[in-house]
Amino acid sequence: MKRRTLLGVGAGVAAAAIVRHGTARAQVQNYPDKPVKLILPYAPGGATDMIGRPWADKLSQAFGQQFVIENRGGAGGLIGTEAAAKSPPDGYTLFLAPSAALTVLPLLRKTPYDPVKSFAPIARAGDLVCGFVLNPAVGPKNFQETLAYAKANPGKLAYGSAGLATASQLRLEMLKYRTQTDILHVPYRGSADALNDLLPNNVQMMNEINVLPHVKAGKLILLNINYPTRHWDFPDVPTLTELGYPDSDVPIWYSFQAPAGTPPAIIEKLNLKMNEIAATDDMKVKARMINVVIPPQTPEQMTQHLLADIKATDVLIKAANVKLE
């Protein structure tokens, strides 16, 4: 009796697997044949939205199906990331992952997802290109002078970040660690709040893309760029590597991820199309406008990139002793 039940169950499972396999193949050929949900783990209006909206538009055009953005904000990205990780792996729920949700959060907090195992990477969505800015009222005119000032006046400069455990905090921790300077970290609830205190010089430094228009207007000084290449709008501002601090960028990058178990053929299909879109002039212009570049990558390259970034972040967090108290 028992054995027969077991056999029956076994046959059932096998049959189900075959059926599922068959439908899976059909699914891939017709994919997508209904609207695709794109989860963003932050509230609408932020940098992630600015990257996600043009992507959703381009993908909808390319596939002839709506790519609908669903903002699932909360807990520094944790809630949206968890929701994405637990979505059905059928290709109809995708995740626009900010790097901090995969690299910083799992290292500082117990997360209900694993940054590597819970997701299948699809393609790179974009890298932010920005750097440290200084309020000109302080005095120094460039990176070196600011360093000298910080060394001469320990604890006097204050740096506004978008919050605890964000990439912008880690950028400061990296700078302090590599240059052995003492700069006060002041966490804000988002980069807009921080900018509001930077302009009247309540804090003196920031590292977020929303300050760049004010650099163009001459209200703030851009000291450097945290990216391998210079910013197209500020060709005179050197990168951190050029300034003598290699491997100190703390990259901020976005990627498309699918819940683990999504059929590889769907991922491949998406990857090809996404890299194709990223290479178009129109998308390049749209990306540059929001201070973003999109390096095309294969899913394998994405995995390597993610692993390397997690490792580097881990080293920094341990070395600089960053923690949520």
Site for another protein in 138-157 (CB under 8 A): 155
Three-state SS sequence of 242-255:
CCCCCCCCCCCEEE
Part in contact with another protein (CB under 8 A); list of ranges 75-83, 135-143, 221-229, 312-320: 75-83
Tell me how far, at minimum, the Cβ of 214 lies from another protein, in Å. 6
- Tell me the per-residue interface mask from 214 to 233 with another protein, x by CB under 8 A, - otherwise: x-xx-x--------------
Residue 219 in tokens: 């209200």
Indicate left, alpha or beta for 123 from its phi (over 0: left) and psi (-120 to 50: alpha): beta
Q: Please tell me whether residue 200 binds another protein under the rule CB under 8 A.
A: yes
Rounded CA gap, 162 and 306, in Å? 22
Part in contact with another protein (CB under 8 A); list of ranges 46-54, 113-121, 142-150, 271-279: 46-54
- Tell me the per-residue interface mask from 293 to 322 with another protein, x by CB under 8 A, - otherwise: ------------------------------
Sole binder of another protein in the list 55, 188, 253, 256 (CB under 8 A): 188
Q: DSSP string spanning 161-223? A: ESSTTSHHHHHHHHHHHHHT---EEEE-SSHHHHHHHHTTTSS-EE--GGGHHHHHTTSSEE-
Sole binder of another protein in the list 192, 307, 308, 319 (CB under 8 A): 192
Sole binder of another protein in the list 135, 210, 226, 271 (CB under 8 A): 210
Cβ atoms of 196 and 202 within 8 Å: the answer is: no
**Nearest residue to 47 via CA among 289, 222, 219:** 289
Q: Is 263 helix (H, G, I), strand (E, B) or coil?
A: coil
Residues binding another protein: what is the number (CB under 8 A)? 55
Residues in CB range of 268: below 8 A, 6 or more apart? 299
Tell me how far, at minimum, the Cβ of 243 lies from another protein, in Å. 26
Say whether the peptide bond before residue 32 is cis (omega within 30 degrees of 0).
yes
Residues in CB range of 46: below 8 A, 6 or more apart? 190, 191
Rounded CA gap, 164 and 50, in Å? 22
Sole binder of another protein in the list 36, 78, 287, 316 (CB under 8 A): 78
Tell me how far, at minimum, the Cβ of 101 lies from another protein, in Å. 14
Rounded CA gap, 325 and 317, in Å? 13
Sole binder of another protein in the list 116, 186, 265, 320 (CB under 8 A): 186
Cβ atoms of 299 and 292 within 8 Å: the answer is: no
- Tell me the per-residue interface mask from 9 to 38 with another protein, x by CB under 8 A, - otherwise: ----------------------------x-
Site for another protein in 156-175 (CB under 8 A): 158, 163-165
Cβ atoms of 268 and 253 within 8 Å: the answer is: no
Rounded CA gap, 289 and 303, in Å? 27
Sole binder of another protein in the list 8, 44, 154, 264 (CB under 8 A): 44
Sole binder of another protein in the list 57, 145, 242, 268 (CB under 8 A): 57
Sole binder of another protein in the list 9, 16, 17, 75 (CB under 8 A): 75
Alpha-carbon Rg for the chain, nearest whole angstrom, is 22
Tell me how far, at minimum, the Cβ of 260 lies from another protein, in Å. 20
Which spans of this chain sit near another protein (rule: CB under 8 A)?
A: 37, 43-46, 49-50, 53-54, 56-57, 68-76, 78-79, 82, 108, 112, 155, 158, 163-165, 184, 186-189, 192-193, 195-197, 199-200, 202-203, 210, 213-214, 216-217, 219, 286, 289-290, 324-325
